[in-house]
Amino acid sequence: MVSFEPARDIPSLAGKVILVTGGNAGIGKATIRALAKHDPARIYLCGRRHDACERIAKELRAETHCDGIVVLDLDLNSLESVKKAAATFLEKENRLDLLFLNAGVANTAHALTKEGYETQFGINHVGHALLTQLLMPVLLRTQAQPGGDVRVVVTSSNAAFTTMLLPSGGLDLKAMRKADAYSTMMLYAHSKLANALFAIKLARQYPSLSVTVLHPGVVKSEIWGKGAGGLVSMLLRPLMMAMWVNIDEGAKTQLWCATAPRAQPTKGTTKPTGVVSGAFYQPTGKLVPYKGATAKQELVEELWTWTNDELAKHGGPGWASE
């Protein structure tokens, strides 16, 4: 665990452009609030309910005195909405320095997205994967500029490590066209495993970027107020309540991943200090080794191939070359 206080330790963000999915609530809102105090050029607050997002953006602009907080309509339940959001962003901006894949749903009722994917997997993974693919050219252009330091920060969960909550073998991509193949908590863990596997591959695919994935802690936020219940949820809820932290505390790890110095190469057994691309972090800045399903390279490749095939069916352009 590292000492990190956003107000003190986030450096100047002058000139930087930032995009945060799920920025109207929970740790997404707290992330924008913290970043806005460090003079970014613009922060795009992404969410699906336009009026609610505008209300939160107005509140944050007044609180932080940052006029660069801009609402971007984004519904991760619809890949058409993802494509429209990316196109709108690219019409307005020629750089993107920090991309927070933060939005998510947890333990929601069994359902399918508009394109027919299991809802939690579709929103938490598929929608974010398409958004990242569409924005990758501008991320790479920004990295290539003098002083480029592009970060992609993926919000996952320790559920990705919890074997008892995952399908046998870890991934069950064939079931992701069904709404109710597993319990809602298992489907949540499955989607969080996908977040981790996706980040691992993205970091390898683009070594010039910093790509990290994290567990923010057990955060008291709106995401858990929308759960579908069930026995597992009922059993876990008292434990979660005992561990809850507020949204500002919950945002610290992703803020650290996005703004702390990147790790420098080390020799021998010396542990790296700073942000390591491809790594998984727990609060705050604690590097956690991959284990279980997250450590299986075959699952990394299986998810990457499946994701690319699915995105191509919906107009995904493929991954830009570095």
The residue-averaged pLDDT of 258-274 equals 82
User: Residue 232: what pLDDT?
Assistant: 44
3-class secondary structure, 150: coil
Those residues with Cβ within 8 angstroms of residue 278's Cβ, 6 or more apart along the chain or in another chain: 199, 200, 203, 204, 211, 212
Q: Enumerate the active-site residues.
A: 156, 188, 192
The residue-averaged pLDDT of 75-84 equals 98
User: Residue 202: what pLDDT?
Assistant: 98
Alpha-carbon distances, residue 32 vs 28, 35, 42, 77, 87 (angstroms)? 6, 5, 10, 22, 22
Q: pTM, whole model, 2 decimals?
A: 0.93
All domains of the chain, ordered by start, with CATH?
Answer: 6-313 (3.40.50.720)
pLDDT, tens only, 115-156: 999 999 999 999 999 999 999 999 999 999 999 999 999 999
Please give the full DSSP string across 41-110, using - where no structure is assigned: SEEEEEES-HHHHHHHHHHHHHHHT-TTEEEEE--TT-HHHHHHHHHHHHHH-S---EEEE-----SPPS
User: Residue 220: what pLDDT?
Assistant: 64
Is it the case that residue 72 has pLDDT exceeding 60?
yes
117 vs 26: CA distance, rounded Å: 25
Going by their DSSP bridges, the two strands 98-101 and 210-214 should be labelled as unpaired
The DSSP code for 271 is P
Residue 268 tokens read as 């021998």
| Phi, psi dihedrals of residue 316, rounded to the nearest 5° | -65, 135
